[in-house]
Amino acid sequence: MNSPTQPIAGHAIQVLFVTSEMHPLIKTGGLADVSAALPAALGALGVNCRVLMPAYPGLIEAVGAELILDGLAPFAWGPRCRVLSGQVPNSEVPIYLLDAPELYHRPGGPYQDDSGFDWPDNALRFGLLSRVAAQLCVGQSALQWRPQVLHANDWQSGLAAAYLKLNPSNAVRSVFSVHNLAFQGNFSPDWMPRLDLPWSLFAPEGLEFHNWLSFIKSGLYYSDRLTTVSPSYAKEIQTPELGLGLDGLLRHRHESLSGILNGINPNEWDPAADPHIAQPYDQDRLDDKAANRKALSQQLGLNVADDFLLLGMVSRMTYQKGSDLVLDALPELLRRPLACVVLGSGDTELEQRWREWAARRPDRIAVHIGYNEALAHQIEAGSDAFLMPSRFEPCGLNQMYSMRYGTPPIVRRTGGLVDSVTDASPSALASSTATGVVFDTASPAALVSAVDRTRALYEQPDLWRGLQITGMGQEFSWTRSAVAYLELYRTLIPDPSTA
């Protein structure tokens, strides 16, 4: 039997990985990081993994794509489209771009316009992506390559599994990965005929969810295997608290559901070779981290004494991420010797509250509303500790970046945060396994206590350095995750060597 880490010469598994975003081409969150890293890591294991995503503005040029399929008419009505083939920049991953200019060539984001409103035709935009993914798999196109596994991600490609099921000759197996159950892609049932979906599928045992046509439910119901991005979240979504109405279905499917923790890109997030930061450093040159703290404070106009704890935060400003918990805790937190650097965007009200605090306390609170890759790296390197008080967190990437940067994360005990951060309990500190501070309750008071606990550690330089060094030595590579996905694919595909 082949070892899962060894490429299988001549028997590469063929996988079509369908996604709606990919770093550095287009990104709204962690799905983009995963879509960049996982196909490449699978490729390194010998899997022939190709990506399919929409041709948003500029992408055709960015990947040097050439036309391979023209004049496709995936639906009985509606737009024609074409498929172009290219290569992901700085990688060997082949990428197919689905081009339908009237659907994807728009200013704004992949899901919303510039004002933050969902595109009104998202059902069509991502129904088309799902439909074409299924057609490429079952040979309903002139594409020579045939995948064995269709790996779809989140609601945007959830319908692909339903389209596969509708094809009786289909031998392709499907995997559906949930990156966030809170985004469900629920639309009016009027879309059923327009998306060529028979009404027989609009049932509780199918696509119907509280009288909506649910794209995520399609993925959860019709896919052969389900994954989510951490073992803890895989358990949590089977409970009423975090199952968001889909927990019954997920409990029913528990034997097909597993949690595979995401990795991080160690080249992109490497404090020893990060082009965005003022001073590179590593475990052996940890004192050099201080230059990044100084540069960050100066750049943002903060007045941070050496003994102050500089807290960093980079995230979408939403209920999920607990941005409001930090805001509510600020009056209490500011009684302590600490300062905050916050980068993010999201809910207008939360953005406004952050702006107001920054205006009120410019010496202690710096806020940058917007998306800024370089600043995200500078905050990871320049902060003393990193705040991630998420109410729920399927995996979370920033806590892993923080550990790699010697910036211990303060996280709530949920989802992937549980699976990646070890609380600085006395026993974990004694055994040098602690990597951060974990707290339980989603309340401002619990957050303040966690920050106090962090400050107490920070005031003990030897303990603090131990926490930093243990975090920096954690293994969060994509190889480990890719091996787990490869094992999953192998359970779906007969081993050609035994045929």
Of positions 23, 27, 125, 179, contacts ligand GLC by CB under 6 A: 179
Of positions 132, 133, 229, 421, contacts ligand GLC by CB under 6 A: 229
Q: How far is the CB of 354 from ligand ADP (least distance, A)?
A: 12
Q: Return d(Cα 86, Cα 67) in angstroms, integer.
A: 9
The residue number whose beta carbon is nearest to ligand ADP equals 30
Residue 300 touches which of ligand ADP, ligand GLC, none (Cβ within 5-8 Å per kind)? none
Helices (H), 139-267: 159-165, 191-194, 215-222, 231-236, 240-243, 247-252
Of positions 46, 94, 396, 444, contacts ligand ADP by CB under 6 A: 396
Asked if 29 interacts with ligand ADP (CB under 6 A), we say yes
Q: How far is the CB of 479 from ligand GLC (least distance, A)?
A: 17
Q: Return d(Cα 112, Cα 316) in angstroms, integer.
A: 15
Of positions 324, 393, 419, 423, contacts ligand GLC by CB under 6 A: 393
Residues 6+ apart with CB under 8 A from 86: 60, 63, 64, 65, 66, 94, 95, 97
Q: How far is the CB of 392 from ligand ADP (least distance, A)?
A: 10
Asked if 397 interacts with ligand ADP (CB under 6 A), we say yes
Q: How far is CA 177 from CA 38, 157, 223, 266, 301, in A?
A: 12, 10, 10, 23, 42
Which CB sits closer to ligand ADP, 30 or 471?
30
Q: How many CA atoms lie within 13 A of 176 on its CB side?
A: 29
CA nearest 377: which of 274, 244, 492, 223? 274
Contact 17, 50 (CB under 8 A): yes
DSSP class of residue 163?
A: H
Q: Return d(Cα 322, Cα 168) in angstroms, integer.
A: 46
Per-residue x/- mask for ligand ADP, residues 335 to 354, rule CB under 6 A? --------xxx---------
Asked if 34 interacts with ligand GLC (CB under 6 A), we say yes
Angle formed by the axes of helices 444-458 and 323-333, to 10°? 60
Which CB sits closer to ligand ADP, 176 or 458?
176
CA nearest 153: which of 134, 172, 171, 180? 180
Q: How far is the CB of 260 from ligand ADP (least distance, A)?
A: 14
Which CB sits closer to ligand GLC, 309 or 417?
417
How many of the chain's residues bind ligand GLC (CB under 6 A)? 14
Q: Return d(Cα 219, Cα 382) in angstroms, integer.
A: 41
Of positions 316, 453, 480, 490, contacts ligand ADP by CB under 6 A: 316
Contact 17, 96 (CB under 8 A): no
Asked if 30 interacts with ligand GLC (CB under 6 A), we say yes
Interacting residue ranges for ligand ADP, rule: CB under 6 A: 29-30, 33, 314-316, 343-345, 371-373, 376, 395-398
Interacting residue ranges for ligand GLC, rule: CB under 6 A: 29-31, 34, 179-180, 229, 262, 393-397, 416
